Structure 1
Amino acid sequence: MVKGVLFDMDGLMFDTERLSLEAWRFAGRQLGFAPRDEFLLALRGSMGDEARAKLQREFGPGFDYDRTRQVRLAYADSWIEQHGMPVKPGLLPLLKELKARGIPAALATSTTRPTAWGYLTRAGVKDYFAASVCGGEVERPKPNPDVFLKAAGLLGLDPGTCMVLEDSPNGIAAAHAAGCIPVMVPDLTQPDPALRALCARVVPSLDQVIPLLELL
């Protein structure tokens, strides 16, 4: 039986992966580079020095990672300020159900804490999370298992009793490597047979997660 639920954030709780792609395109127009969607999708979950290295391999050693990040975040912040947080359907009912059942939730995201906490606050869901692990707070990013192992530890739970909700291949690989119960809620990437094999379940939306709490 599931004793805890570990949540990814971008693309899972919030429809921010599409916003991120548009922020990358905007930064490319502003700073003179042309990002490929395929590369950006594969980049999800990377952070810090690893992301910097991948970007410099893609765009050259002179790629200004820090300036690009500033432009991207400013674009996303402006969009959210104007339109509000794009909350995925089913998020709030799921969080309320977990609270009612006494099943703790933890955030496990590659996004930095100031940004992640700002998103949760704007969406009005911050208080539903008993613990959180954000970008830069573990040694190795997804697809390594570190973020989920730490999140489970903060909840005082064995990883094998924790359901992980993820939308990306890197996240599912990390959840599987951690020995958790990976449940994929696809966003921009649909699972191929190899990725599906790593999942305990694949469901189309967060609305479909509640019945799994007693099945897995």
Structure 2
Amino acid sequence: MIKGVIFDFDGVIVDSEYISYECYRDFLENYNISFSKDDYIEHCPGKTLVTTMNFFKKHYNLEYDIDNACAFFREREQYYVDKDGVALKAGIKDLMNYLKNKDIYICLATSSVKKRALTILNEHKLTGYFDDFVFGDEVERSKPFPDVFLTACKKISINPEDALVIEDSEAGIEAAHNAKISVICIPDMKQPDHEHCLLATKIYPDLSCVKDYIEQVNGNG
């Protein structure tokens, strides 16, 4: 029985991964490092900003202050958001209305920081759909560790076996699997590899398929 659905944010609720890629690309250009979309897809989705900046520092053997690097990223992100906006992923409002009508809890579990995520949700009038939130700075370990999803279950007072995670990244699939929570993957910039396909409960092309899955599991289909 699915009693609560836990949503990732970037790439699931909002179409924002391309903005993150551009921000990391701009940052590494300061060090004359070329950073492709394939590089982003391999190293970044599902990871916190601090985790990624620490990875770059070690991977590219760079010297910089992590706080300053994160500040640069956030400034560039705001520039791109102001310039182009952040669109919702297709079907997200329909799915949330369905969950509310079925009295299924809705929780956000994201690597993003609180201010950023809530600002975007407020702009799209989505904040009121959520019963609770878990942000990246609330947990010690980021995905693929299970902390963010286990914390979400505690916040909405359900057991992991009664939850469903909606994710787009391999790190997110792995985190849900490690939390022993069923996970549907809606791929965004990258199709999950074979190993992560085996860890996912289902892989669907878009959010419109999630409702039918819940209906089947909860005996309404």
> Could you say whether these structures have the same fold, taking a TM-score greater than 0.5 normalized by the shorter chain as the test?
yes
Q: Report which stretch shifted further, 64-73 or 82-91.
A: 64-73
**Deviation, structure 1 residue 76:** 2.0
Q: 1:39 to 1:77 in 2, by over 3 A?
A: same
Contact 1:141-1:147 within 8 A present in 2 as well:
yes
Q: Which runs of 5+ in 1 are unaligned?
A: none
**Pairing of 1:134-145 with structure 2 (within 5 A):** 134-145=135-146
**Deviation, structure 1 residue 54:** 1.3
Q: 1:69 to 1:53 in 2, by over 3 A?
A: closer
Whichever residue aligns with residue 176 of structure 2, its letter is A
The answer to whether structure 1 residue 87 and structure 2 residue 88 are counterparts is: yes
Contact 1:185-1:202 within 8 A present in 2 as well:
yes
* Secondary structure of the structure 2 residue equivalent to 1:208: helix
**Deviation, structure 1 residue 55:** 1.5
Q: Report which stretch shifted further, 162-171 or 28-37.
A: 28-37
**Deviation, structure 1 residue 2:** 1.0
Contact 1:48-1:136 within 8 A present in 2 as well:
no
Q: State TM-score, norm by structure 2.
A: 0.91
RMSD: 1.7
**Structure 1 counterpart of 2:187:** 186
* Secondary structure of the structure 2 residue equivalent to 1:209: helix
Give the distance between the partners of 2:78 and 2:98, measured in 1 at CA. Answer: 30
* Secondary structure of the structure 1 residue equivalent to 2:142: coil
Contact 2:50-2:70 within 8 A present in 1 as well:
no
- Percent identity over the alignment is 31
Give the number of equivalent residue pairs: 216
Alpha-carbon displacement from aligned partner over 1:48-103 (angstroms, at most 9, x marks no partner):
66434312112214034333322222222222223332110000101111111110
The structure 1 segments of at least 4 consecutive aligned residues displaced by more than 6 Å after TM superposition are none
**Structure 2 counterpart of 1:37:** 37
Contact 1:110-1:134 within 8 A present in 2 as well:
yes
The answer to whether structure 1 residue 55 and structure 2 residue 56 are counterparts is: yes
**Structure 1 counterpart of 2:162:** 161
**Structure 2 counterpart of 1:21:** 21
Give the distance between the partners of 1:45 and 1:71, measured in 2 at CA. Answer: 20
Q: Which runs of 5+ in 2 are unaligned?
A: none
Give the distance between the partners of 2:125 and 2:31, measured in 1 at CA. Answer: 34
